[in-house]
Structure 1
Amino acid sequence: MPRMTVMHFEQGDRRLVADLADPLPIAIPLDFGGPQPAFFGASRASSQPLRAGSFVGDTRAGGSCNCEEVSLAPHCNGTHTECVGHVTDERVSVTESVRGGMSLALLVSIEPVRAADAGESTDPPPEPDDRLVTARGLAAAIDAHVPLAPEALVVRTLPNRAERFWHAYDGPAPAPYLSREAATLLVDRGVEHLVLDLPSADRADDHGRLTAHRLFFGLPAGSRHAPDATRPRASITELAFIAPTIRDGWYLLDLQIPAFLLDAAPSRPILYPVRFE
C-alpha cells in the first residue's frame, strides 16, 4: 500500500489538509547547456568544469569527478526570488528577509489586459499596447475562491505557453506587468509572497521607477533606504512556470531558496495541494 503523507492545519475557523506526497514544482529548470529564458539583455547562464592545477572537474576529460563553476544573474536567468534589497542601498539579502516554512497560497489564472482598455495606471504611464495584470482581474480571481486570506499568491498569466522555458523577453513588445492598483491590492489583501510567471512585476524599461516592487515592499517612491520599507519580509518570485495541469485553487507554498547573501537567488517554489475538511 502506498504511503500517504498529509498535514492537518487550521486557518481561521477552517480545517485544511495538505497532501505532502504530491509536490508540484513550479520553477523553470535552468539548462546551462541548452535553451533558457533571457531577460534585460543579460548574458545567458553558463557553466564550465573547474580547473585547479592538474585537476579538471569533468570525468569526460579525465577528471576524477564532476565539479563545475557557474555564472548567472539570478534576476534574469530563470526562476528566482527577490527581497526589498533589490531596490535599496543597504545590501539586504533574500536569505535574511524570507523566513523558511510553508505559506498558505492561492493560485489564480489571469489574462493581462491591454493598457488602453484597463482603466488602471502605472508609473511611468504605460504604452497603449502594454498588457497589464490589473487589480480588477486579481480581485475577481481571488474572490472566486473560498474566502480565506492567502499569505502567498501565485499568478499564472494567460495564454500559458511552454515557450516560457526558453523565451527571450528583450523584444520590442514588453512582457505583461502589474498596474499600480494591482500591487496596492496585493498589499491591502495581506499577500506576503508573490509568485509570477513573468520576468518582472514592472515594465523592463520603466526609467528605474520599479513602482510595483516598491509598492509591494512598502518602500516610498524614490527611497533607497531599507528601514523605510513597511513590508521588509515580503518577497517576489519571478519567471516561474505553472503547468496547465495544476488547477487554480489553494495550496501550501514551499519557497526553497539557497542561503545566498544577495538581494535575489535562484529558487524552487513547490506547491502542495490543499483541501478543506
Structure 2
Amino acid sequence: MIAKIHNFQIDLSKPIDISIPLTNTDENPIAWYIEKPVIEPVVFGDWIGKVSEGKSSTNFNTISFNPHGHGTHTECLGHITNDFYSINQSLKQFFFIAKLITIEPEIIGEDLVITKIQVKNAIASSLAGKTIEALIIRTLPNQKDKKSRKYSHTNPPYLSEEAAVFIRESKIQHLLIDLPSVDKEHDEGKLLAHKAFWNVTNTVHLNSDARLYATITEMIFVPDEIEDGNYILNLQIVSFENDASPSKPILYKIADFRL
C-alpha cells in the first residue's frame, strides 16, 4: 500500500521496526538498576486469568514495568522538570522526515562519547532541500545483544553536550538513539545532553524558549542491514499521561523523491 507523507511516497506494507519488544524474560534489556518487567495473570482466590490454567475464558494479565529502564521509550522534557509535562500532550504529530546515521563513539578519558563533529559530519547531506525533523543515531559496535543488554553500572556511551546543542540548533525536533540515555550514567544529575536538546536552562521555573514538543527516544535497535540515509519515521506511543511512554518507532523507505 503506497501512501504520500510530506510529499514523499512510502510503502506502508514494508515497515522497519526499530523498537525493542517488552518481555518478562531475561532477554529484556534493563537499565537504571531495576529488575525485569513483570507480566502475570490476575488472581482472585482460586481464579487465575489464564486460559491454559483452565479457570478462565480469557487471558487477563497485569503488566508492571518502567518505560525508562525496560526498553524502547519516548520522553518529553517533563522527564527533567519540576512541573508535570506529559509525552501524550507533547507529541501530537507522528510522521517525520528522518535521517539515520551510524557513529562509533570516541574514547575520551574513561568514556565513550558521541561528539559534535561526528554528528555534524554525519548529517551534512540534506534531503531534497527538506529539513530533517528526526535524527536516528545507531552506535558501533552494533551487537544484537543491545536487545537484551543489562546496562546498569556499565558506563554506556553517551552524547556530548556540544553534540546535543548542535542537534537542537539544526532544528531537529526528535532524537532517537540506541543507548539507555543520551547522558552519562553517573553524571551527578547534570543531565547536560537532555537539557541542551530541550533547551532547558531552569528545571524549576521552565524558561520560555524550552522545546516543549521535542522528544528523545532511547533504547532502539537498528539492524546492520538497514542502510544509513533518509526515511519517513512513524513515532508511535501509548497514550500515557506521563513524562515517558513505551514507544514503537517505525521507519519507511522513501520511494519517490518528487516534491
- The TM-score range, normalised by the shorter chain, is over 0.9
Q: Which residue of 2 aligns with 1:118?
A: none
Q: Following the alignment from structure 1 to structure 2, what is the Cα–Cα distance between the partners of residues 248 and 148?
A: 17
Contact 2:126–2:132 under 8 Å retained in 1: no
Q: Which residue of 2 aligns with 1:150?
A: 132
Contact 2:91–2:215 under 8 Å retained in 1: yes
Q: Following the alignment from structure 1 to structure 2, what is the Cα–Cα distance between the partners of residues 244 and 39?
A: 23
> How does 1:142-181 map onto structure 2 within 5 Å?
142-146=123-127, 148-171=130-153, 173-181=154-162
Letter in 2 for 1:259: S
Q: Which residue of 1 aligns with 2:72?
A: 79
> How does 1:207-246 map onto structure 2 within 5 Å?
207-220=188-201, 222-226=202-206, 228=208, 230-246=210-226
Contact 2:40–2:62 under 8 Å retained in 1: yes
Secondary structure of the structure 2 residue equivalent to 1:198:
coil
Say which of 147, 168, 173 aligns to 1:187. Answer: 168
Secondary structure of the structure 1 residue equivalent to 2:227:
coil
| TM-score, length of structure 1 as denominator length | 0.87
Deviation at 1:102, TM superposition (A): 0.4
Give deviations 1:30-56, integer Å, cap 9, x for gaps: 221341111110121111101235532
Say if 2:3 is the partner of 1:6: yes
Q: Which residue of 1 aligns with 2:97?
A: 104
Q: Which residue of 2 aligns with 1:122?
A: none
Structure 2: any 5+ residue segments left out of the alignment? Answer: none
Distance 1:43 1:251, change over 3 A: same
Q: Following the alignment from structure 2 to structure 1, what is the Cα–Cα distance between the partners of residues 225 and 140?
A: 14
Matched positions, count: 255
Secondary structure of the structure 2 residue equivalent to 1:266:
strand
Contact 2:82–2:203 under 8 Å retained in 1: no
Secondary structure of the structure 2 residue equivalent to 1:267:
strand
Structure 1: any 5+ residue segments left out of the alignment? Answer: 11-15, 116-127
Contact 2:5–2:95 under 8 Å retained in 1: no
Give deviations 1:117-161, integer Å, cap 9, x for gaps: xxxxxxxxxxx1201111101111101454542100011011111
> How does 1:43-58 map onto structure 2 within 5 Å?
43-58=35-50
